[in-house]
Amino acid sequence: MRIHLVNPSDVSFGTAVITPRWLYVLAAATPAEYGTPLIVDETLERFDPERILPGDVVGIGIHTANALRGYEVGRAARKRGATVVFGGVHATLYPDEAREHGGAHAVVKGDGDLVWSQVLSDFAEGAARDLYEGGRVDGGDFVSARWELLPADKYMWGSVQTVRGCPKHCSFCSVWRTDGQKPRQRNVDAVVREIVELRRRGFRFILLSDDNFYPVTVADLAMAKRRKDPTQYENLQALRAERFELMARLQELPEDLVFYTQITMEAAEDPEFLTAMRKARIRGALVGVESVTPEGLKAVYKDFNQSGEALVVRLQAFQRHGVHVLGSFIFGLPTDRPHTFTATADLAGRAGVSFAQFVMLQPFPGTLDFAAWEKGSTAATRVGEIPLARYWLIPSANRPKIYSPHPAMSADEIRQLTQATWDEFYRLPHVWKRSKGCVTSLKARIAFVLISKLYRQMYANTGIATDSARVARSARRARVLASLARRFFVAKPMPDLQVPVPATSRRVLPSTV
Ligand code: B12
Ligand code: SF4
């Protein structure tokens, strides 16, 4: 019984930006008696069903965007006589769909870290169940990835998770509902060991692939402090202290390491946290700005964000502390108007964000937005046989890009204005100018330009364009850019690097808020 793990993707670029973490975590969770899993990441190379032998196990991880391709892989593997098992956020939400469309014998809901060995032993004994509950594993039980299985010279960034779950409740996001609102922070030693392992192999850029790196805000602490019962306050302080401990430990790692994470804008009001981030060399963060207007923020339950000039000030606070921002903006909110697109691009420029992504409002399963949208009449319309409420099952060439009629703009207008905003933001002179604010050497500025251009090709053009020729052209360009950019991101391996012994006496704990 050989184990295969497949990360599905419609487009293969030959070189990929970030290591898909789940593949290497599940490989580590696979007991030694089943041998080393055979890993296929389709962002690099296409899955070849010929490699499957009857009796093999094929594990496929899906999110909504790659579910359809995942189902094709599942059916092909089952046809070859494999036992097929699905996991990941989309399979967690729609286990029956994986069986109906993906040929699944079994589906794992939730985290795979602990339940995977049980699944495999049931398969080995011929006693497979059709559904397994992986649940929400405690931070201390997260399995560390087996990075020694990574193919050489294929990825630019490593990925290490430090926390799962997010206490917020944004209407367009599924994280707080699937991963929970309780932050599950991972053991600091385990995080550091994985980073050292990646640096040994020549990775110096690491994505901290967290839902929200800043789960306890100053406002949360102030509110908890007002309660009579001190328990909540003490719990929050403990979580905050752990974050500072992690950042102090990152500081002790080789100086050429660069980290990048995802964070809420509230961190701008916590200079102590931002200073610790800079010292830890967390040089960049995706900040979910979503909308630049108060009405837009209200529409997505994100009124803890700021709008207008207050927003500019908050975003600049990150820059001032040396944390470069990838601003994430959503277009197509009911409150948006044509001028919102230019106002957003203008604000992104003034706020000094280094990168930006402009995504079109899409109801993702598991979110409040999806639940409301699914009840409406648009979701019931069909494309061929498939209701729009299951849009991910529609082949991508026919899949609509806009999911709800907008009160003031046509679907095409929103798509074109979104595309135009990407094009304008990533024009070469703008990118070159922004590079100066981020890095100093010529080599680093060239790397900045390449990664900016690559980002736009991979996420904007292949995602927004409706014309398949443009999508194919973008994929080709992304392939070339990715192979050029890679050399700027890798470093000389440090095979002898040791995990630094924590300098406890030097560690600075946060001041009490
Ligand atoms: C890092 C990340 C990214 C990185 C991915 C880089 C990479 N190469 O991996 C980047 C930035 C590229 C990215 C992009 C996008 N992402 Co993203 N991303 C994440 C994030 C924050 C962490 C994922 C991660 O690595 N987790 C760590 C691993 C170990 O956990 P895991 O993948 O969940 O796997 C565990 C279980 O799910 C399970 N499991 C998973 N697969 C399998 C398979 C089997 C067989 C089994 C048994 C178990 C199992 O076991 C694993 C271990 O416990 C998640 C948030 C989240 N909570 O998942 C969002 C998330 C997955 N992303 C999301 C979205 C929406 C996107 C984008 C569509 C955003 C956009 N608009 O462009 C794009 C899609 C890109 C594409 N075309 O594929 C959504 C998906 C929602 C949905 N319903 O599908 C999430 C959940 C965030 C959110 N806000 O809701 N993302
Ligand atoms: S969008 Fe970010 S802040 Fe909002 S719930 Fe999701 S992970 Fe948390």
- Which atom of ligand 1 is the closest one to the Cα of 113? 53
Nearest CA to ligand 2 atom 7: 211
User: Using 50, 70 and 90 to split pLDDT, how confident is the model at 291?
Assistant: confident
User: Using 50, 70 and 90 to split pLDDT, how confident is the model at 465?
Assistant: low
Provide the pLDDT for residue 15.
79
Mean pLDDT over each residue of the chain, to the nearest integer:
91
Provide the pLDDT for residue 308.
74
Provide the pLDDT for residue 402.
78
**Size of the chain, expressed as the number of residues it contains:** 513
Ligand showing the shortest atom-to-Cα distance for residue 23: 1
Ligand 1 pocket: which of 5, 63, 212, 451 to mutate (most atoms within 8 A of CB): 63
| Residue 211 vs residues 57, 63, 176, 426: alpha-carbon distances, Å | 30, 15, 9, 26
Provide the pLDDT for residue 61.
98
Nearest CA to ligand 2 atom 3: 168
User: Using 50, 70 and 90 to split pLDDT, how confident is the model at 86?
Assistant: very high
Q: Which residues line ligand 1 (CB under 6 A)?
A: 18, 20-22, 25-26, 59-61, 63-66, 85-90, 108, 111-113, 116, 159, 161, 173-175, 179, 209, 211, 359, 364-366, 459
Q: What is the pLDDT of residues 314-368, one digit of tens each?
A: 999 999 999 999 999 999 988 899 999 998 988 888 888 999 999 988 899 999 9
Q: Give the tokens for residue 195.
A: 């980073």
Question: Residue 470: pLDDT above 70?
Answer: no
User: Using 50, 70 and 90 to split pLDDT, how confident is the model at 389?
Assistant: very high
**Residues forming beta bridges with residue 206, ordered by sequence position:** 158, 259
Ligand 2 pocket: which of 162, 164, 171, 173 to mutate (most atoms within 8 A of CB): 173
**89/178 Cα distance (integer angstroms):** 7
Q: What is the mean pLDDT of residues 15-28?
A: 94
User: Using 50, 70 and 90 to split pLDDT, how confident is the model at 302?
Assistant: confident
| Residue 460 or residue 368, greater confidence | 368
- Which atom of ligand 2 is the closest one to the Cα of 167? 8
Question: Residue 461: pLDDT above 60?
Answer: no
Q: How far is the CA of 214 from the centre of ligand 2 (A)?
A: 11
Percent with pLDDT over 90 in the chain: 68
Helix then strand then coil, % of the chain, to nearest 5: 50, 15, 35
Rg (CA), the chain: 23
Provide the pLDDT for residue 180.
94
| Residue 111 or residue 360, greater confidence | 111
**90/78 Cα distance (integer angstroms):** 20
| Residue 14 or residue 507, greater confidence | 14
Q: In this predicted structure, which of 114-128, 394-408, 472-486 has the lowest mean pLDDT? A: 472-486
Q: In this predicted structure, which of 121-135, 473-487, 490-504 has the lowest mean pLDDT? A: 473-487
Provide the pLDDT for residue 466.
54
DSSP string across 380-435: G-EETTEEGGGGGGS-GGG--S--S--SSS-HHHHHHHHHHHHHHHT-HHHHHHHH
| Residue 275 or residue 513, greater confidence | 275
Q: What is the pLDDT of residues 230-282, one digit of tens each?
A: 999 999 999 999 999 999 999 999 999 999 999 999 999 999 999 999 999 99
Provide the pLDDT for residue 104.
98
**221/511 Cα distance (integer angstroms):** 12
Question: Residue 455: pLDDT above 70?
Answer: yes
Query: Closest by alpha carbon to 199, among 158, 161, 149, 163?
Result: 158
Q: How far is the CA of 65 from the centre of ligand 1 (A)?
A: 10
User: Using 50, 70 and 90 to split pLDDT, how confident is the model at 467?
Assistant: low
Provide the pLDDT for residue 347.
87
Q: Is 364 in the pocket of ligand 2 (CB under 6 A)?
A: no
Provide the pLDDT for residue 73.
98
- Which atom of ligand 1 is the closest one to the Cα of 85? 45
Tokens 């994470």 belong to 261
Q: What is the mean pLDDT of residues 472-490?
A: 77
Top-confidence range, 70-74, 399-403, 478-482: 70-74
Question: Residue 229: pLDDT above 80?
Answer: yes
- Which atom of ligand 2 is the closest one to the Cα of 176? 5
